[in-house]
Amino acid sequence: MARPQARPTVRIDDGRVKATEWAFDPGAETGWHVHEHDYVVVPLVSGTLKIEMPDGTSSTAELTQGIPYARKVGVEHNVINDGPGEMRFLEVEITG
């Protein structure tokens, strides 16, 4: 069964930084993607995300509102809202 899609809204894209707000209804996903830049995620609400990897494994990430984390370029994954409520975060990519 197809999952609903998360909704991206680009807030900043100035050639140095791209900031995208992601909003996920329960069960929504980003779809498979690879990050082309290092990035920081800042949760706008607390919640649970499921991270699927290309090898078929998955993990659960508990995000806390306002507590950021960082990842490096090249990560391929699919992100799914695994919780009962809306999930939102700001993804800040270092583009230049």
Question: Tell me, what CATH number does 24's domain have?
Answer: 2.60.120.10
Binned at pLDDT 50, 70 and 90, residue 4 comes out as: very high
The predicted pLDDT at position 75 comes to 86
Task: Find how far residue 8's CA is from the centre of its chain.
Answer: 10
CA distance 38 to 75: 9
User: Rounded CA gap, 13 and 7, in Å?
Assistant: 17
In a domain, 68, yes or no: yes
List pLDDT tens digits, range 36-88.
999 999 999 999 999 999 999 999 999 999 999 999 999 899 999 999 999 99
Domain membership of residue 67 (yes or no) is yes
Domain that holds residue 36: 7-94
Q: What global pTM score does this model have?
A: 0.93
Are 78 and 35 in contact by the 8 Å Cβ rule? The answer is no
Residues 84, 26: contact at Cβ < 8 Å? yes
The total domain count for the chain is 1
